[in-house]
Each structure stands twice: as C-alpha cells, then as structure tokens.
A and B are shown apart, each in its own frame.
Chain A
Amino acid sequence: MPLSMKTRAERFVATLRHCQVLGLTVESANDELLTMRLPYSQQIVGNPATGVVHGGSLTTLMDTACGTAVFAMLPGFELCPTLDLRMDYMQAATPDIDLWAEARVTRIASSVVFTQCEVIQRRAEERDLIARCAATFMRIGENMTPPEFRALIEQGGSQ
C-alpha cells in the first residue's frame, strides 16, 4: 500500500535533525495544503525583552513546510534542494502561542517546484498572519536520492 501524504511528510521531517530540536510536527497533509506546527519555546526567542521568537525560527518553519509539501506531493522520493526563499514578516509573533505554517505547492514543473507558505497564530477566533513566504525548489531527479534516505522514508524510524 502506498504511504499516505501525511506519513511521507512525517517521515521526511523525522530525518531533519534541527526540526527535532525545534519540535516541528506535521499536523496535516493533503493535495491542497500541508500544515506544520512550531511550538513556542524559550530557545527560539530572539528578543528576551519581549519574548518574541526570532525570525530565523520562522525561516526554518517555512523552509521546512514548503520543502515537506514538495516531498509529499511529488510522485517519487525526490530530495529537492531549496533554490530561494522570499519572506515577508507582517507582524511580530505573540509570545507563548504556537506558530502554524500552511504550505501550498503552486506548480510542479520538470526542473523546478514553486511553493507558497503562510505562518499564522490562532488566538480564540482570531487568525493572525505573522509571515508569508514564496520558495522555489530544484528537482534533481529520483535517481539522485540516496538509497539510505529512501529506506528511511519507506520503513520509517528517525535518524
């Protein structure tokens, strides 16, 4: 039975050491949207006076969410390196609240995959837009994906 997109996404993220350090989790994955959660923690604070998380942790969240959406969406197991990322920081994140990334693959071409992502925070009924990103990934082909990596995804088990 083929792996579900969510399982593919989860196993992919499980191989990324820094994402384990941050506690990134895949919350949902389908053809339309992939969502990931970055739990608020002291270690990612950029301004200790305010408790606001550093933009760098959002960069990692968005790069990972877009890259994971690409990996989950492509038919084979293709490791696609990021070509570029463009991020707009709309407003400072509120301390003590988790951050959610919503990533979409907008176009899969033969050599390149285009994605978009938003980072939001949920407060009661409010949906605060914190950051937005456009990321482009390079397709290097299925045969360039190392067999050890393929095994990690097919069989599961982190690191």
Chain B
Amino acid sequence: MSFDELLHQARVTGDFQPLVASIPYAELIGLRFQRFGKDVLFQLPKNDDNIGNPILPAIHGGVIGGFMELSASLHLLMTMETLAMPKMIDFSLDYLRAGRHQDTFAECQVWRQGSRVANVAITAWQAERVTPIATARAHFLLTR
C-alpha cells in the first residue's frame, strides 16, 4: 500500500500504527505512541543506537529533537484535518537536562491552527512530566 493510501486509511480507521511503521526514520529511532481519546503520548524506548555521548551515557540531542519533530507532525495528522504530512517550517528546541539512556516521552499542544500554519509546542520528559528534558516549538505549513 502506498504512503498516501496508508495516510487515507489511518484517517478513516483512526489506526495510525501502519502509517507510522511505514516511516523509515520513525523505525530508525524506534518511535511509538499511544492514544487516549484525543490525547496522544509518544514514546522513544531506550535504544543503544540513539546514544550520542557514550560515557554519560546520554541520548544524542539530535535524536531527542528528531523524536519531538516527528511527534509534532504525527500529532497534527492524528488530531487535525490535515490531509498530507505537514511540512516543518521551523523548530526551536531548548535542552533542559541530559537525556539519560532510558525511555523518553513526549506530548504536544497545538496552540494555534490557522488555515495555512500551525503552531505546536512539544515537551519531552523521562522520569516525570514535571521535570522535562527538553521543550520545543514548531511551525508547520499545512496542505489541504
């Protein structure tokens, strides 16, 4: 099945698992997600291949960024009326703590969705939600 068909099917059935499984970058870093009604929790399971600094050891900051970017675009696909993969315009990421070699979680908040652009905030944490390891904000170009 083509990616566009997978996208369409996901929108009809509400099951985004086959779509996410078809994205090579999601497979590479190991992104998973769970939906709770309208809420979506994204998960990046502990993965040796995602390590940057081996001595701490810590997850590569770029992987944390990639995980949050992908989470934001998937969140938009799952919750908004977008028909194609939203295109990222810009991404601003603040690192608050080292990402330890353990599971990481992310959740997204769409602060505004206009006709062409969406503004999304992303928070990533490990041990507990109240001590995030990174926060980010992204703008997406929406195609209808």
A interface vs B, CB < 8 Å? 15-19, 21, 42-49, 53-57, 59-64, 67, 79, 81-89, 92, 146, 148-149, 159
Q: Is the CB of A55 within 8 A of B88?
A: yes
Q: How many residues of B contact A (CB 8 A)?
A: 38
Q: A55-B88, A148-B55 are in contact. Are A48 and B23 (CB under 8 A)?
A: yes
A-B contact pairs, 22 of them (CB 8 A): A15-B53, A15-B54, A16-B52, A16-B53, A16-B54, A17-B51, A17-B60, A18-B50, A18-B62, A48-B3, A54-B70, A83-B94, A84-B93, A84-B95, A85-B61, A86-B90, A86-B92, A87-B90, A87-B92, A88-B90, A89-B91, A148-B55
Q: Is the CB of B92 within 8 A of A84?
A: yes
Give A48 to B1 CA distance when docked, in angstroms. Answer: 11
Give A28 to B87 CA distance when docked, in angstroms. Answer: 31
Q: Is the CB of B48 within 8 A of A44?
A: no
Q: A56-B62, A64-B62, A79-B53 are in contact. Are A84 and B94 (CB under 8 A)?
A: yes
Give A100 to B108 CA distance when docked, in angstroms. Answer: 30
